[in-house]
Amino acid sequence: MPVPKHVAIILDGNGRWAKAKGMPRTYGHIQGAKRVEPITKAANELGIKYLSLYAFSTENWNRPKDEVSTLMKLLAKYMKICQKLCLQEGMRARIIGDKSGLPADLLKEATELENATAENTGMCLCICINYGSRDEMLRAMRKMYADVKDPDEITEETFSRYLDTADIPDPDLLIRTSGEQRISNFLLWQLAYTELYFTPVDWPDFTEEELKKAVDSYRHRNRRYGKV
Ligand code: IPE
Ligand code: IPE
Ligand code: MG
């Protein structure tokens, strides 16, 4: 099998990683964020065309206030770091999720990142912030309901076009770090036939080598799509 075209990663385990070191959870987020740049570069070098990173879910707002505010500040900072990286590497960035729920400064940095990299043709870095798959599908249904007059017009392709991931192919490989084996409201529609890879490694320890291991595992899979 060729290298996966689209790899999606649930970045998990920052908090537990920090706690195991006797540090506050926010330290785990700071260290975890530092993995974004090297992993993005490594994905690009492997020939991956789309890399989706689940950074903040619609449910993550229910965490303690100080943790949420640290995450929002970190995300705003990484919009700038990602912009520099994307411009260096010829990559474009897309923000996936409900942008209307983002703090103003983060929204501004996110919009700048998308606009500054929109013309690039290299790997697409999809950063999922304030993202929840059920929320995405509801927003898509509302938009579709306003547009579509005849329900028979609605096909899988039509619906896909209303999702935040419009024009992005479904993930070939989903990686989740930290040993948890669940989807946690990530890309429920898009993951229909995605290969799943779970690793016990926490996100702050997820190296380029770990990414290669996941891709190698994918290359030995047999995707049948319901056929024989
Ligand atoms: C992933 O790490 C980062 C986010 C979900 C924002 P966690 O913060 O979920 O860390 P654990 O899973 O509690 O260890
Ligand atoms: C999923 O991780 C969300 C992100 C990685 C952004 P969580 O840590 O929030 O998921 P649960 O609560 O373990 O399912
Ligand atoms: Mg977690």
- Residues 149-159 have pLDDT tens digits of 999 999 999 99
CA 41 – ligand 3 centroid, Å = 24
Decide whether any atom of ligand 2 lies within 6 Å of the 205 Cβ: no
Q: Whose CA is nearest to atom 13 of ligand 1?
A: 15
Q: Which residue has the tokens 């975890």?
A: 32
* Percent above pLDDT 70 for the chain: 100
Is 12 assigned a catalytic role?
Answer: yes
Q: Give the pLDDT of residue 189.
A: 98
Q: What is 6-132+170-219's CATH superfamily?
A: Decaprenyl diphosphate synthase-like (3.40.1180.10)
Whole-structure pTM value? 0.98
CB 136 within 8 A of CB 97: yes
Q: Which residue has the tokens 């929840």?
A: 132
**Band (174; pLDDT cuts 50, 70, 90):** very high
Residue 88: Cβ within 10 Å count? 9
Compute the average pLDDT of residues 193-219.
99
Residue 139: Cβ within 10 Å count? 17
Domain ranges of the chain: 6-132+170-219
Compute the average pLDDT of residues 14-18.
98
Between vectors from CA 32 to CA 101 and to CA 74, what angle results, nearest 5°? 40
How many whole angstroms separate alpha carbon 142 and alpha carbon 29? 34
The H-assigned helical ranges of the chain are 14-20, 25-33, 36-46, 65-89, 104-117, 133-147, 156-162, 208-219
Compute the average pLDDT of residues 13-36.
98
**Average predicted confidence (pLDDT) for the chain:** 98
Burial class (CB in 10 A: 0-12, 13-18, 19+), 103: middle
| Residues 6+ away with beta carbon under 8 Å from 187 | 8, 52, 133, 165, 171, 174, 194
Q: Whose CA is nearest to atom 3 of ligand 1?
A: 12
DSSP label at 142?
H
Strand partners for 51: 7, 125
pLDDT tens-digit series, residues 60-69: 999 999 999 9
Is 115 assigned a catalytic role?
Answer: no
